[in-house]
A and B are shown apart, each in its own frame.
Chain A
Amino acid sequence: MFKRLSALLGGNKKSPQKTPLHETEKGFLVFHHTGEVIRAEQMLQKAGFYVEIKGPPPDLRTGCDMVIVFPLLKEFAVRRELEKAGLHPADIIPMRGGMLEPVSLLKTIDYGKWIMVQAANVKITVEKASGAIVNVSGGGCPDVPWLAGLMVGQNIFAADEPRINGQSLCSYALQKAFIEARRLIEDGET
């Protein structure tokens, strides 16, 4: 098996910027208009992301005939870069697995004085009375410990949302948990 793998990869060392992406690490950015695709490609390349314009697979041929292939695990950073230019993809989809949707199921656990919200593999815990973020747990990408260091001790209404400093899909999950926790505290649903 590994001889085959070695042959496939060539066994050569590559610089980080040129590291080839496996199919599971890629996603499609879908836009309504061709002009948006071209602008997005230029902007993302300029920002240092490895992106390519490709023809869409059959099930994505709903609008534009081009999609951008991008590093899926950097989806959060890519979104932020596009937002700066006012570009909003119609859809973002993992290349492998067809039409997978981002996780939408949020779990909440009430610990009395505290509430914990979990999105996918990431959890945030907030003190109900004060709104203080007391813990951030989980994640597998290195920006979650980084974000946790920034957020723990902050008030959830004053803290930067994870999307400001996050880069990975794990931080995107943390963003979802953060927004839900803030909503629950604000609405008094705890």
Chain B
Amino acid sequence: MMNWLICGTVPDDNFPLCLGTWMVEKEMLVPVSSFDGSGPIPCVPVRRGTPALSASAILAANALSSSPPALLLAGDQGSGKGSARLYDFLAEWLIKDESANIKGLTFHYMFPSVDGHNRILMALDERKGTRPRLIADAGFMYAAKMSGFAARYDVFTPDAGELAFLADEKAPHPFYTRGFFLADGQDVPALARMAFDHEDSAKILLVKGKTDLIVEHGEVTASVSKPCIPFMEPIGGTGDIVTGLLTAFASAGIPLFQACVRAAQAARFAGEAADPTPATSVSQIMPFIKEGVIRTNA
């Protein structure tokens, strides 16, 4: 039974829109079953982006002996067409009975569309019963901020650059964040407070950085700085791992604040075990996700 859904894109325009469950084999995501009757679905290499988030979530769920999240994926190399198909599908699917058991959604790399985003929120509003938990990162988080409905989300997972974008109420995209917000020495808790005050923040922020900060309702309530793995920052996909771990912990029923703390810790433990350099690939960290998750129980 599907209880959590990860929504995002695969960087391949030929990849079909598909909803289903997947497993991780070596450095690949391998389809297990589809819920929407779609045809043959190719395997996906785990290099960065939504495939990296998905692989870490599946591996972490396995380590927690819980059901792995299902994936709603679409191919998109940047035109936005695949993302548009995903927005359309999800806005319809969320009001169908087959989605009734969904406890949470994690949104990731999608071409930002305020209209697409708003239709998904409206579909969530139409649903009966408990509202699913909502986690957003990357392009969908940008759309959530641009829409003015960021406060409807439970968790955003920005890095420092993205936090500056959330804090700058005028910026329509991180590329247009004003320099003041990006300056060295900028006070991260103050930026988080600004984002919250402008209603451009989710209820919880997991700010990924040298020290990971967990911010609740504009106030820093936890930080994770050890073990310190400085070479994690340049590796494409390490932020995606954190959001994937958060998804797995939340999907396993761990309260969101605690899930954020454990996600930050588990990513660091996995990184420590992988002993990376700036040239390491995220796929080389994946074998250590299980160990990272287990160590958070200690």
Taking Cβ atoms with an 8 Å cutoff, the residues of A that contact B are 2, 5-6, 9, 11, 13-14, 16, 19-22, 24-25, 72-74, 94, 96-98, 100-105, 107, 109, 111, 113-114, 116, 118, 120-123, 125, 127, 132, 134-149, 152, 165-173
Question: Are A120 and B118 in contact (CB-based, < 8 A)?
Answer: no
Interface-side segment among B25-33, B229-237, B257-265: B229-237
Query: Which residues of B lie under 8 Å from residue A100 when comparing CB positions?
Result: 170-172, 176, 178
State the CA gap A2–B121 with chains docked (Å).
Answer: 8
Identify B174's interface contact among A74, A107, A114, A140, CB under 8 A.
Answer: A140
Name B278's closest neighbour in chain A (CB-CB). Answer: A114
Can you pick out 19 interface pairs between chain A and chain B where the beta carbons lie within 8 Å of each other? A9-B118, A13-B91, A20-B115, A73-B80, A98-B170, A100-B170, A107-B184, A114-B279, A120-B177, A123-B234, A125-B279, A136-B48, A137-B238, A142-B11, A142-B139, A145-B50, A167-B78, A169-B174, A169-B175
State the CA gap A74–B11 with chains docked (Å).
Answer: 17
Query: Which residues of A lie under 8 Å from residue B184 when comparing CB positions?
Result: 107
**Interface residue? B130 (CB, 8 A):** no
Name B75's closest neighbour in chain A (CB-CB). Answer: A142
Question: Are B78 and A152 in contact (CB-based, < 8 A)?
Answer: no
If A6-B122, A105-B179, A142-B139 touch, whether A120 touches B174 (CB-CB below 8 Å) is yes
Question: Are A22 and B114 in contact (CB-based, < 8 A)?
Answer: yes
Query: Which residues of B lie under 8 Å from residue A137 when comparing CB positions?
Result: 48, 233-239
Question: Are A116 and B236 in contact (CB-based, < 8 A)?
Answer: no
State the CA gap A168–B176 with chains docked (Å).
Answer: 13
State the CA gap A121–B30 with chains docked (Å).
Answer: 30
State the CA gap A133–B166 with chains docked (Å).
Answer: 29
If A145-B109, A146-B77, A173-B174 touch, whether A22 touches B239 (CB-CB below 8 Å) is no
Q: Mark B142-167, 1 if CB is under 8 A from A, else 0.
A: 10001100000000000101100100
Query: Which residues of A lie under 8 Å from residue B298 when comparing CB positions?
Result: none
Question: Are A24 and B278 in contact (CB-based, < 8 A)?
Answer: no
Question: Are B122 and A11 in contact (CB-based, < 8 A)?
Answer: yes
If A111-B231, A135-B278, A141-B139 touch, whether A96 touches B170 (CB-CB below 8 Å) is yes
Name B137's closest neighbour in chain A (CB-CB). Answer: A140
Query: Which residues of A lie under 8 Å from residue B176 when comparing CB positions?
Result: 94, 97, 100-103, 169
Question: Are A172 and B78 in contact (CB-based, < 8 A)?
Answer: no
Question: Are B111 and A2 in contact (CB-based, < 8 A)?
Answer: no
Query: Which residues of A lie under 8 Å from residue B178 when comparing CB positions?
Result: 100-101
**Interface residue? B141 (CB, 8 A):** yes
**Interface residue? B201 (CB, 8 A):** no
If A100-B178, A127-B279 touch, whether A140 touches B112 (CB-CB below 8 Å) is yes
If A22-B146, A121-B161 touch, whether A146 touches B170 (CB-CB below 8 Å) is no
> A16, A152, A167 — which one has the most chain B CB atoms within 10 A of its CB?
A16
State the CA gap A76–B139 with chains docked (Å).
Answer: 16
Question: Are B161 and A120 in contact (CB-based, < 8 A)?
Answer: yes
State the CA gap A169–B278 with chains docked (Å).
Answer: 25
Question: Are A24 and B114 in contact (CB-based, < 8 A)?
Answer: yes
Query: Which residues of B lie under 8 Å from residue A139 when comparing CB positions?
Result: 109, 138
State the CA gap A121–B79 with chains docked (Å).
Answer: 19
Query: Which residues of B lie under 8 Å from residue A14 when comparing CB positions?
Result: 115
Besides the known contacts A94-B172, A104-B179, 15 further A-B residue pairs in the complex with CB atoms under 8 A apart: A6-B125, A22-B114, A25-B112, A100-B176, A101-B176, A103-B175, A103-B177, A120-B182, A121-B162, A137-B48, A137-B235, A138-B236, A142-B77, A142-B110, A146-B12
Question: Are A138 and B114 in contact (CB-based, < 8 A)?
Answer: no
